[in-house]
Structure 1
C-alpha cells in the first residue's frame, strides 16, 4: 500500500531532489534548461514550482516521503499571477536556453486549455524507486479531484514512453506539437471528467 498525502513546505527539499533526478535527462528540460549545472538548475526550477505554484496556488501530493511528487494547478489557480511571480527566476535559471525555452512554451500555448481544468504541472518519481506504482499513486488524487469537480485533467509530456502510461489513466492525446529549434515532440493530453 502506497502512502500518498498532501505535501507541505517541509517536503520541499526531498521533492526538489526527486524532481531534479526524474527530469535530469527528460527531453523537454534538456532542450529548455542550460547544460551547465543542468541538474542544479532543474532542482531550483522545480523547487520554485513546488513552493510558489503548487503549494501557494494549486495542490501537491507526495508519496514515499517525497520520492514521488505531483504538482497540479486547479481551476481556481490564477496562473498568470502565480507564474508572474517566478517567471523572471525561471528565465534566469534557463540560462543560455532562455530564448529557446520561451519559443518552446509559445509553441504549446495554442494547445493549452482555456476552460477550467486541473493542469498537471509536474510529476516525477525518483529513479531509485521507479516501477513500484508510485507515479500512478501520486497522480490519482489530482485525477479524482478533477473528476469530482467535473472538469478535465490536462498534461503535457515530451517523453513518448509516457503517452501509453497516461492513456492507461484515461488521458487521450489532443495535440502533438513539434517544438521549434529541434526540440522534442510534445504530446498534449486531456482526460475528460468521468
Structure 2
C-alpha cells in the first residue's frame, strides 16, 4: 500500500504542518484526487466504484495507520499530504486488523493486491526505516512544489534519528523527483499479473551520506 503521485518540485514557499484528526476527511479527498489514475491503485483496487473504493482506502490509511502509528504532514489548505510509517509506530497489529477491510476495498483485484505486496516485500528494508507510505498533491495544486514540501519534514525527522527513509513508486516520472531528494533506486521490477513497473528507493540518513 505504498502510493505516490507527485509533480516536479518548484521553489514556491508554503506552510507545512502536522495533520490532526480534523484533517482526515479533506486529506482523504486530496489523496483520492491525486491517485485516481495512479498505475498501482488501478492495478490493485477494483474498477467498479473505483473512486469511492480509493477514497475509503485513503481514509483508512490516514485515520488508522498514519495518524495513530506514524507521522502525517499536510500543506496549509490540505492540497498536499504525506503519510509516513515510523519504526516506533508498530502499525503491524493495525494492518492485520484492517486486512478484511482492505480485501473488501480491493474487490475483484484482491488477489492482485496481495500478489503485489508479496512481490514488494523482499525489496523493503530489513532494519528500522522511515517508510513514506503515501504522498499526493491535488491535481489543481500540482507544479507548486507542494509534494516536496510535505515530504521534507519526514526526511528531517529520519535524519535526526539517524535512520534511512524508504519508498516505492509506480510512476517513472516520480523517480527523478525522489532522486533530487537524495533517494537511490534499490530495485526495479514489474508487479505480477500485468502490474505496473515499480521502483524501490532508499535514502540514507544525512550524516552517512557525508
Q: Deviations over 1:132-163 (max 9, x none)?
A: 01001000000100011000000000000000
Distance of 1:46 and 1:154 partners within structure 2: 19
- 1:68 match: 80
- 1:192 match: 204
The answer to whether 1:55 aligns with 2:67 is yes
Contact kept, 8 Å, 2:17 with 2:76, in 1: the verdict is no
RMSD across aligned positions (CA): 0.8
Distance of 2:58 and 2:105 partners within structure 1: 11
- 2:182 match: 170
**Count of aligned pairs:** 194
Aligned counterpart in structure 2 of residue 5 of structure 1, from 9, 17, 23: 17
Gaps in structure 1 of 5+ consecutive residues = none
Q: Larger helix proportion, structure 1 or 2? A: 1
Aligned counterpart in structure 1 of residue 127 of structure 2, from 112, 115, 128: 115
Gaps in structure 2 of 5+ consecutive residues = 1-12
Q: Which moved more, 1:46-55 or 1:75-84?
A: 75-84
TM-score, normalised to structure 2, is 0.91
- 1:149 match: 161
Report deviation, 1:59.
0.3
Q: Deviations over 1:46-72 (max 9, x none)?
A: 100001101010000000321100000
SS in 2 for 1:145: helix
Runs of 4+ in structure 1 over 6 Å off: none
SS in 1 for 2:159: helix
TM-score, normalised to structure 1, is 0.98
Distance of 1:18 and 1:86 partners within structure 2: 22
- 2:113 match: 101
Contact kept, 8 Å, 2:129 with 2:164, in 1: the verdict is yes
